[in-house]
């Protein structure tokens, strides 16, 4: 029983991280029907910028006195950086292709993904970049069960970001504009919505969430590497499809389910087929219910 609860805790942590990444896929798909395969690279870039900023703050001696504030500042700056990075990528790689076939943009996305990950390798080398481990040192123990401080941080941060995103999309004017652009770009432009700006903003928000996940992964696992975006990116994509691509609530649920399937699959069936479980789900969903759990096109919740 204790082992089961521990595995639930593991699953919730992993699932939350997948959910944060999956949201970026789903939002971009909702607005311009593009699977942004470079999205995993925003996640990796977040991890890299995070380790750089924390390194600078350590060098300045701020880590000693206010470690959690350093983390908060790094998190904000990293999210901001990746938001701008995503807007740049959108401008260079996707916007010129918006009137072309969807395949052209998809190939451009794959190219951008390879470009960004190799760019990170050239800039920072092929070795893992170590993260400070101080944040993950404390925690709680109940018998065999351990909950790490950082796991709690991940849960809280994930929850806060998810709520904030929901408020933004469903309760604000910008969110309304996003939903409008998702439904009909021409019509939105006619009612004076700046569609280009809304699309750029969608990329920025998605990348910001992925960047937050990137820092959390770096802190939780202790290191980041230039190619870290690929596998989580694909799994988050599976999560987005599972939830119903284009659907925000679906992406959150999908992320949690993929995390749970992986952890329980590894725990109770076999560790070596961990990745297989996630992708079996992807194939099964595409085969039996391509619109996903929440449905692709429930007009109001689609962004």
Partner 1 sequence: MKKMKRSVGVVAVLAVALMSGAATAETLKIGMMGPLTGPYAADGNDIANGVRVAIEVINEAGGIEGFDTIELITQDTACDPKQAVAAANNLINDEVVGVVGAYCSSSTIPASETLAEEDILMLTPASTNEMVTDRGLPYMFRVCGRDDDQAPAAVRFMKEALGAKTVFIVDDKTTYSQGLADGVAASSKEMGLEVLAHEHVNQGDKDFSAILTKAKAAAPDVLYMSLQNHSSGSLMAIQANRMGLDAAILSQDAMFHPNFINVAKEAAEGVYVTFGYTDESTEAYKQFADKFSAQYGDIGAYAIYAYDAATVLLNGIKQAGSTDPAKIKEAIMAMDFQGASKQIKFNEKGDSGSSYIAFKIENGEYRPYWHPETGYYQ
Number of C-beta neighbours around residue 151 at 10 A: 20
CA gap 275, 283 in Å, rounded? 13
When asked if residue 56 is in the footprint of partner 1 (CB under 8 A), the reply is no
CA gap 277, 50 in Å, rounded? 31
The residue among 170 and 221 lying less far from partner 1, judged by its C-beta, is: 221
Buried b (16+ CB within 10 A) or exposed e, 54-86: bbebeeeeebeeebeebbeebbeebbebbbebb
| Residue 303: closest CA among 19, 17, 25 | 25
Q: Minimal distance in Å, beta carbon 53 to partner 1?
A: 18
* Contacts (Cβ under 8 Å, ≥6 apart) of 190: none
When asked if residue 21 is in the footprint of partner 1 (CB under 8 A), the reply is no
The residue among 174 and 280 lying less far from partner 1, judged by its C-beta, is: 280
When asked if residue 7 is in the footprint of partner 1 (CB under 8 A), the reply is yes
| Residue 208: closest CA among 70, 93, 39, 72 | 39
When asked if residue 267 is in the footprint of partner 1 (CB under 8 A), the reply is yes
Q: Using CB under 8 A as the criterion, what x/- string covers residues 210-249 for binding partner 1?
A: -------x---xxx-x-xx--xx-----------------
Window 101 to 120, contacts with partner 1 (CB under 8 A):
118
Q: Which residues make up the interface to partner 1 (CB under 8 A)?
A: 2-3, 6-7, 10, 13-14, 118, 121, 126-128, 130, 133, 136-137, 139, 141, 144, 146, 148, 217, 221-223, 225, 227-228, 231-232, 262-264, 266-267, 270-272, 274-275
């Amino acid at each position: 029983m204790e082992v089961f609860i521990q595995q639930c805790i593991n699953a919730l942590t992993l699932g939350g991280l997948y959910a944060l990444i999956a949201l970026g896929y789903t939002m971009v798909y909702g607005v311009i029907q593009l699977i942004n395969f470079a999205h995993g690279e925003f996640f990796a870039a977040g991890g890299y910028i995070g380790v750089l900023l924390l390194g600078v703050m350590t060098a300045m001696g701020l880590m000693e006195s206010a470690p959690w504030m350093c983390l908060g500042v790094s998190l904000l700056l990293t999210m901001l950086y990746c938001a701008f990075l995503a807007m740049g990528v959108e401008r260079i790689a996707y916007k010129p292709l918006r009137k072309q076939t969807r395949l052209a943009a998809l190939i451009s996305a794959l190219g951008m993904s390879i470009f960004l990950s190799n760019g990170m390798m050239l800039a920072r080398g092929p070795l893992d970049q170590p993260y400070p481990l101080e944040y993950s040192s404390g925690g709680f123990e109940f018998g065999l069960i351990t909950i790490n401080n950082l796991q709690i941080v991940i849960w809280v941060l994930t929850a806060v970001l998810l709520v904030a995103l929901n408020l933004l999309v469903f309760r604000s004017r910008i969110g309304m504009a996003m939903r409008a652009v998702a439904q009909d770009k021409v019509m939105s432009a006619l009612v004076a919505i700046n569609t280009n700006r809304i699309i750029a903003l969608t990329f920025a928000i998605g990348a910001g969430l992925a960047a937050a996940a990137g820092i959390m992964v770096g802190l939780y696992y202790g290191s980041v590497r230039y190619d870290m975006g690929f596998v989580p990116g694909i799994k988050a994509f599976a999560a987005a499809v599972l939830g119903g691509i284009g659907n925000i609530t679906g992406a959150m649920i999908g992320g949690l389910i993929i995390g749970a399937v992986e952890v329980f699959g590894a725990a109770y069936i076999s560790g070596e087929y961990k990745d297989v479980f996630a992708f079996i789900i992807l194939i099964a969903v595409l085969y039996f219910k391509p619109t996903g759990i929440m449905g692709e096109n429930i007009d109001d919740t689609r962004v």
